[in-house]
């Protein structure tokens, strides 16, 4: 771990937004799932949520492993479970969904704890998922097509959320709890050692100001 790498990781982690997330309902195409997670990383989403059917779970297992290094993916058996858990944590639930009550996405307040629910590529959100959400939002369309690709729609919505949050100063200070920040920093910098500490039930060692490990670190902590 070089000091430069450590500074980069620290800066990215300090910008993470613990109260901004997306919920993906049965996203079935690997490239869309990957694009959504990459956009989450780009705007500072701390973790994303996914609801899987038996068919789409295979997609998640195959695609999301590499992305989870920077954006944790929480899996749920149903959209009710995903939305219900977020609502208990104080999130307002926005649906990317065309309906008679849908508002222009630029009029939504994404500075409050916000979860954006996205539907499948072909059919969009199920009626059940749409009914669970607090507010429907749409991206106004001026062309012949009625909707954007799901990963593109996600990017449009998340970058609007980023714009609002930047204007509100949300990225100027770390918004993670101290212990959460400390643990994630160690996991991002030393994922193999972090996993071994967890397996043994041991606390993470404190890092030096430049990200260096305390000496000595047992050689057995690292695989050959």
Give the Cα separation of 221 and 135 in Å (integer): 48
CATH class of 17-167: alpha beta
List 92's β-bridge partners, or say none: 114
Which residue, among 35, 48, 175, has the nearest Cα to 111 in the 3D structure?
A: 175
Output the pLDDT for position 107: 96
Out of 34-38, 140-144, 186-190, 192-196, pick the least confident: 140-144
- This prediction's pTM: 0.88
Of 49 and 147, which is predicted with more confidence? 49
Q: Is the pLDDT assigned to residue 219 strictly greater than 60?
A: no
Q: What is the pLDDT of residues 12-67, one digit of tens each?
A: 999 999 999 999 998 888 888 989 999 999 999 999 999 976 555 555 555 544 55
* pLDDT-above-90 percentage for the chain: 70
Question: Pick from 208, 186, 212, 210: which is nearest to 197 by CA?
Answer: 186
What ranges do the domains of the chain cover?
1-15+176-216, 17-167
C-alpha–C-alpha distance, residues 94 and 61, integer Å: 26
Cβ atoms < 10 Å from Cβ of 131: 10
> 52 versus 170: which is more confidently predicted?
170
Separation CA 215–CA 218 (nearest Å): 9
Q: Is the peptide bond before 216 cis (omega within 30 degrees of 0)?
A: yes
pLDDT of the residue at 1: 86
As a residue count, the chain comes to 224
**Residue 91 pLDDT:** 98
pLDDT average, residue stretch 218-222 = 52
pLDDT at 224: 47
């Amino acid at each position: 771990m070089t000091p430069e790498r450590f500074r980069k990781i620290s800066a990215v982690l300090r910008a993470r937004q613990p109260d901004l997330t997306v919920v993906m309902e049965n996203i079935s195409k690997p490239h869309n799932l990957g694009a959504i997670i990459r956009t989450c990383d780009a705007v500072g989403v701390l973790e994303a949520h996914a609801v899987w059917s038996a068919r789409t779970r295979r997609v998640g297992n195959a695609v999301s492993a590499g992305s989870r290094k920077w954006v944790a993916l929480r899996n749920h058996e149903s959209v009710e479970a995903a939305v219900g858990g977020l609502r208990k944590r104080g999130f307002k639930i926005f649906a990317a969904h065309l309906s008679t009550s849908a508002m222009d996405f630029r009029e939504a307040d994404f500075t409050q704890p916000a979860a954006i629910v996205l539907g499948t590529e072909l059919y969009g959100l199920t009626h059940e998922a749409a009914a669970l959400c607090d507010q429907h939002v749409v991206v106004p369309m001026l062309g012949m097509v009625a909707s954007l690709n799901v990963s593109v729609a996600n990017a449009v919505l998340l970058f609007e959320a980023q714009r609002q949050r930047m204007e509100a100063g949300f990225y100027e200070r770390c918004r993670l709890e101290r212990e959460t920040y400390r643990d994630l920093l160690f996991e991002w910098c030393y994922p193999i050692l972090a996993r071994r500490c967890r397996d043994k039930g041991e606390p993470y060692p404190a890092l030096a100001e430049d990200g260096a490990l305390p000496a000595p670190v047992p050689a057995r902590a690292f695989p050959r």
